[in-house]
Amino acid sequence: FAVLIGFTCIGFAEFQLYKSAVAVAVGVAVLILALLTIVPFFMAVLGKVLFWPVRGNIGHPQSKLWETAGRFAFSKPLISLLIVAAVAVPPILMYKGTLSYNNLDEIGDQYESVSAFNTISDKFGPGESLPVTFVLKTSDALDTNDGLIAIEKISRAIEQTNGVSKVRSATRPVGKGLSDLYVKTQANELNK
C-alpha cells in the first residue's frame, strides 16, 4: 500500500515528467486488487494442484538461525534493541547529508561514459555539453517588441551570474546579442 500511496502522491507534482509516474500507481492498484481477489480464488479452487507437479510434501524445514534469533529477541527485548542500535547507529552517524545534483559525481570516473563526458567538458566547457535550460512562463506575448526587450533584460541578468559564460535566448541565438537588429546599429548604418 505504501507504494500505491507514494506513486499516487506523485500526481500532485508540478513537473510533468513526474506526473506520468501516476500510471505506476494505477498498476499497483490493479495488482493489489488481483492479489486480494483473483489469487485467493484460484488458491481455494485449485488447492495443491496449483503447485504442479506435486511431489510429496511441499513444505520446507524451519531455519534454526531465525528461530534462535526470534526466541532471543522475544526473551531479551532490551538486549535485542541494543544490538540493533549498535548495528544501525554507526551508519546513521557517518552519513554526511550532502546533497548533490551532479549525477556524474555519484557514478564515478571508472566508467567510459563519464570519462567521455569529462573529456567533452574539458574541450568545450560543461555548459556546451550539458547546458542549463530556463523556461519562462508568462501570460504576456514574448514575440512582440516589449517581449523581446524583456527577454534580453533577463538574458543580460543571467549573463551577469557568476559562472555563466554566455546565454542563448530568442534575442541571442548564438550566445551574443544580435547587434545588427538594434535600432542604434541600424541608425548608424543609415547615417553612413
**Alpha-carbon span 126 to 2, nearest angstrom:** 39
Report for 25-29, 72-76, 129-133: range of highest mean pLDDT: 72-76
Domain boundaries, the chain: 2-51, 64-94, 145-191
Q: Among the listed ranges 72-76, 80-84, 128-132, 140-144, which one has the minimum average pLDDT value?
A: 128-132
Q: pLDDT tens across 154-187, in order? A: 998 998 988 788 888 888 888 887 777 777 777 8
Cα dist from 161 to 138, 149, 166, whole Å: 22, 19, 10
Dihedral (CA of 105, 109, 110, 113) sign? positive
Q: How much of the chain exceeds pLDDT 90, in percent?
A: 24
Which pLDDT value is given to residue 56? 66
Helix (H) or strand (E) holding 148: helix 145-159
Which pLDDT value is given to residue 57? 66
Look at residue 106 and tell me whether its pLDDT is greater than 80: no
Q: Smallest Cα–Cα separation from 4: which of 23, 20, 17? A: 23
Look at residue 128 and tell me whether its pLDDT is greater than 90: no
Which pLDDT value is given to residue 126? 66
Q: For residue 77, count other CB atoms closer than 10 A to its CB.
A: 10
pLDDT band, very low/low/confident/very high, at 9 (cuts 50, 70, 90): confident
Global pTM? 0.40
Q: pLDDT tens across 32-87, in order? A: 999 999 999 999 998 877 877 766 666 677 889 999 999 999 999 999 999 999 99
Cα dist from 47 to 39, 44, 52, 57, 170, whole Å: 11, 5, 10, 14, 69
